[in-house]
């Protein structure tokens, strides 16, 4: 299972949000320096998200992302505010190893599937979901636009929408856990493996090496997780990248 450090961009800086709340932001400094330090420590991939673009659709951090791609000799996957084929293909031409489609894919599944067939393995679907209590029942709803808007689409239905095209990954983020260091959603991730034919990457709540070891043991239908995205744990010092990489190697 691959360990993928996350760098979230807002206003040209590296930040982390608590449960996706833009009012609960912690700033961690220069994104390029952080990316280079992760690469020097042994990371083989980075997960970059333009939070400004995710919320507004305007790619205000695009030049910064281009710099990270150019300077870091690892696979860089990029998400946030990618709304059109031109957006996705521009990032691929700039050297992104994988482009993550979120809002645009949910609102226009045909666009996402078309991109996946045109660029096999280089397009990922981001399924970020929240728990909603409805008439005493808890359901998982996929969120849109930087997690500030609900889609009305159930997590299970979203998995089915993208089960056939050759996506490089389906990135599953439990918003209620994201940035909380509460541990990953093992049950939800096992469900994703059961209902998705494409590789699955875990995101949200990872705090310590034992969380990564637990994720590596999640299995369904003979499949395991392709990777785990780690953000807050590395930035806060709860876990070092060396510890994370060693846990995934084990």
Residues annotated as catalytic are: 8, 128
CA separation for the pair 2, 11 (Å, rounded): 29
Token pair, residue 240, equals 């070092």
Cα end-to-end span (Å), the chain: 9
HSE of 191 in the Cβ direction (CA atoms, 13 Å)?
15
Residue with tokens 């876990």: 239
CB atoms within 10 A of CB 201: 27
Bridge-based pairing of strands 13-18 and 21-29 is: antiparallel
User: Considering Cα of 13, then 47, then 78, then 125, what sign does the dihedral take?
Assistant: negative
């Amino acid at each position: 299972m691959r360990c993928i450090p996350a760098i979230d961009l807002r206003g040209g800086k590296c930040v982390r949000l608590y449960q996706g709340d833009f009012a609960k932001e912690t700033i961690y400094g220069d994104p390029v320096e952080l990316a280079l330090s992760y690469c020097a420590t042994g990371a083989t991939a980075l997960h970059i998200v333009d939070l400004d673009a995710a919320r507004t659709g305007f790619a205000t951090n695009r030049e910064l992302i281009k710099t990270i791609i150019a300077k870091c000799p690892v696979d860089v996957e990029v998400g946030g505010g990618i709304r059109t084929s031109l957006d996705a293909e521009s990032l691929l031409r700039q050297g992104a190893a994988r482009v993550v489609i979120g809002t645009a894919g949910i609102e226009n599944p045909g666009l996402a599937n078309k991109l996946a067939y045109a660029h096999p393995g280089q397009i990922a679907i981001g399924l970020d979901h929240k728990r909603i209590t409805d008439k005493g029942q808890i359901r998982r709803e996929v969120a849109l636009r930087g997690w500030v808007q609900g889609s009305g689409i159930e997590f299970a239905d979203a998995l089915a929408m993208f089960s056939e095209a050759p996506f490089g990954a389906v990135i599953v983020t439990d918003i209620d856990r994201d940035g909380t260091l509460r541990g990953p959603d093992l049950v939800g991730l096992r469900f994703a493996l059961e209902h998705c034919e494409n590789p699955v990457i875990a995101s949200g709540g990872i705090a310590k090496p034992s969380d990564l070891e637990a994720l590596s043991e999640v299995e369904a239908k003979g499949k395991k997780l392709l990777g785990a995205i780690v953000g807050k744990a590395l930035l806060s010092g709860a876990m070092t990248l060396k510890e994370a990489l060693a846990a995934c190697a084990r």
